[in-house]
């Protein structure tokens, strides 16, 4: 269940989820919310603000999961390298990308220790909501940096501590146990991880107030992820949809994201 929940809140456009009996689909609403935060810009071909994708790029996604991020990149014609420890996810993503205009597709089943790739392979490296799971973030990030070309861009994200802190007293016990979140990473720790690995940080941002509260309400609702149908969740989704549709809704969303955020995102460059 927790893996499914992680995929739901990570902002990937490939998931299909059950629609509650009333109100907006929580996933589609979350995707709309993510686009307001800079994800999946169809006009600028940016996977996230400051992270453009072109047909000339070689994109490596480590911990690709079900492939939402890589699908966006594959649709831009880039060469795709997908890597995940879960063979079933890699195969499912391979099938999903088969009909895209990606100029090449390479699939790796690996724990990334080490990555089975030559040094300086990728021009774009994506790793979202993974670092909080790994035993040795320093060694993990060193591998990510090794396989990037000089001048390559990195898109890294981890949960924001503001959201993790409010979940602690309410989340299922396994949420903060291996193989799930085994560490809470502060903003300063996240930036230090990136710079210690040899990256130059371009931007550091946060987003996801909607998902932070949705998760909190999810624990209280005590429903299964496969059927997250509960008045509390329906009411929250409807409230957020109404807010986003209001004239100042996106601005209010940004103000709330600055207070409690689901995720923090670093865009960085390898010198």
Q: Any idea what the CATH number is for the domain that residue 169 is in?
A: 3.40.50.150
The chain-wide mean pLDDT, for the chain, equals: 92
Q: What is the mean pLDDT of residues 206-229?
A: 92
> CA 81, CA 12: separation in Å to the nearest integer?
17
Reported as a single tens digit per residue, the pLDDT across 223-261 is: 887 778 899 999 999 999 999 999 999 999 999 999 999
**Confidence grade of residue 41 (pLDDT, cut at 50, 70, 90):** very high
> CA 124, CA 64: separation in Å to the nearest integer?
13
Q: What is the chain's percent helix, strand, coil content, to nearest 5?
A: 40, 20, 40
Which range of residues forms the domain containing residue 119? Answer: 2-269
DSSP code for 155? E
> CA 243, CA 239: separation in Å to the nearest integer?
6
User: Which two three-digit tokens encode residue 88?
Assistant: 């079933």
pTM over 0.75: yes
- How many Å separate Cα 149 from the centre of its chain? 22
Per mean pLDDT, which range of 34-38, 73-77, 224-228, 233-237 is the poorest? 224-228
> CA 157, CA 263: separation in Å to the nearest integer?
7
Which single residue is written with the structure tokens 């940016």? 46
Cis omega (within 30 of 0) for bond into 114? yes
> CA 101, CA 76: separation in Å to the nearest integer?
7
Reported as a single tens digit per residue, the pLDDT across 147-191 is: 999 999 999 999 999 999 999 999 999 999 999 999 999 999 999
Domains contained in the chain, number:
1
Reported as a single tens digit per residue, the pLDDT across 87-119 is: 999 999 999 999 999 999 999 999 999 999 999
């Amino acid at each position: 269940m927790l893996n499914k929940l992680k995929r739901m809140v990570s902002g990937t456009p490939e998931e299909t989820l059950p629609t509650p009996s009333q109100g907006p689909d929580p996933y589609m609403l979350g995707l709309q919310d993510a686009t307001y935060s800079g994800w999946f810009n169809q006009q600028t071909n940016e996977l996230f603000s400051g992270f453009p994708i072109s047909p000339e790029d070689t994109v490596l996604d480590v911990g690709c999961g079900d492939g939402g991020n890589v699908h966006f990149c594959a649709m831009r014609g880039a060469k795709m390298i997908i890597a995940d420890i879960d063979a079933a996810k890699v195969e499912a993503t391979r099938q999903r990308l088969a009909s895209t205009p990606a100029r090449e597709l390479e699939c790796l089943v690996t724990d990334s220790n080490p990555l089975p790739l030559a040094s300086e392979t990728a021009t774009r490296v994506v790793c979202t909501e993974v670092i909080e799971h790994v035993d040795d973030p320093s060694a993990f990030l060193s591998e990510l940096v090794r396989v990037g070309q000089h001048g390559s861009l990195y898109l890294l994200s981890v949960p924001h501590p503001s959201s993790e802190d409010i979940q602690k007293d309410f989340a299922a016990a396994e949420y903060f146990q291996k193989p799930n979140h085994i560490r809470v990473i502060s903003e300063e720790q996240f930036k230090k991880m990136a710079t210690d690995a040899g990256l130059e940080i371009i931007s550091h941002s946060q987003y996801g107030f909607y998902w932070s509260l949705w998760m909190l309400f999810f624990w209280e609702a005590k429903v299964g992820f496969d059927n997250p149908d509960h008045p509390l969740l329906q009411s929250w989704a409807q409230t957020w949809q109404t807010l986003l549709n209001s004239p100042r809704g996106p601005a209010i969303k940004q103000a709330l994201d600055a207070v409690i955020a689901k995720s923090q995102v670093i865009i960085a460059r390898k010198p």
